[in-house]
């Protein structure tokens, strides 16, 4: 089953947006398979955002990600990597559509409240970076037959 790594960044946690954001993924029909509150070190943040290490905002971005608790999660469902990014909205909240998480709940690119993996490879790598295999909980949800149908 397809899985993606989603994290509520320190601004989303501090602003009290955890339940609002969780509910959007939950109501869509995705299944939560891992969740924990983490205080990442700056070194850990640098690992998470290693692809951006040459960008001018990299240092500030890593300071920010390590500035408070992050809610790390893994969500599962058909197409969750790509569609999860649609729920999140464009990177810059000035350009995110209304109805998306960033469009509705954030104002500037440096404080865009949520992260989502951008493809299958990064999803795999980010899940492995943030979680031990034993922290991922595989289970059958009773909603699945209604979400996906049977036969």
Write out the residues near Mg ion by the rule CB under 5 A.
Answer: 118
3-state secondary structure of 31: strand
CA distances from residue 116 to 4, 23, 46, 122, 140 in whole angstroms, order as listed: 7, 16, 16, 10, 23
Q: Which of 109, 124, 125, 135 forms a contact with ligand GTP (CB under 6 A)? A: 109
9 marked ligand binding residue: yes
Q: Tell me which residue of 86, 47, 45, 50 sits closest to 65, measured CA to CA.
A: 45
**Residue 17 binds which entry of ligand GTP, Mg ion, none, CB below 5-8 Å type-dependent:** none
Alpha-carbon distance 110 to 7, whole Å? Answer: 15
Q: Is 131 annotated as a binding residue?
A: no
Quick check: 120 binds ligand GTP (CB under 6 A)? no
Q: Which helix (H) or strand (E) holds 28?
A: helix 18-28
Q: Which stretch binds ligand GTP (CB under 6 A): 21-29, 32-40, 113-121, 125-133?
A: 113-121
Of 106, 116, 123, 130, the residue at the interface with ligand GTP (CB under 6 A) is 116
Residue placing its CB nearer to ligand GTP in the complex, 77 or 116: 116
Residue 50 known to be catalytic: no
User: At 72, is the secondary structure helix, strand, or coil?
Assistant: strand
Is 118 one of the binding residues for ligand GTP (CB under 6 A)?
Answer: yes
Which are the catalytic amino acids? 115
């Amino acid at each position: 089953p397809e899985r993606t790594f989603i994290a509520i960044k320190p601004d989303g946690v501090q602003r009290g947006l955890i339940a609002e954001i969780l509910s959007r993924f939950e109501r869509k029909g995705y299944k939560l398979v891992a969740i924990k509150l983490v205080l990442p070190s700056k070194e850990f943040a640098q690992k998470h955002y290693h692809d951006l290490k040459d960008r001018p905002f990299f240092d500030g971005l890593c300071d920010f990600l390590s500035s408070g608790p992050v809610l790390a999660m893994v969500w599962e469902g058909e197409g969750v990597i790509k569609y999860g990014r649609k729920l999140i909205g464009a990177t810059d909240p000035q350009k995110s559509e209304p109805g998306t998480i960033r469009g509705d709940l954030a104002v500037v690119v440096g404080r865009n409240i949520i992260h989502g993996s951008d493809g299958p490879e990064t999803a795999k790598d980010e899940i492995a970076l943030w979680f031990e295999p034993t922290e991922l909980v595989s289970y059958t949800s009773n909603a699945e037959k209604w979400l996906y149908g049977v036969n």
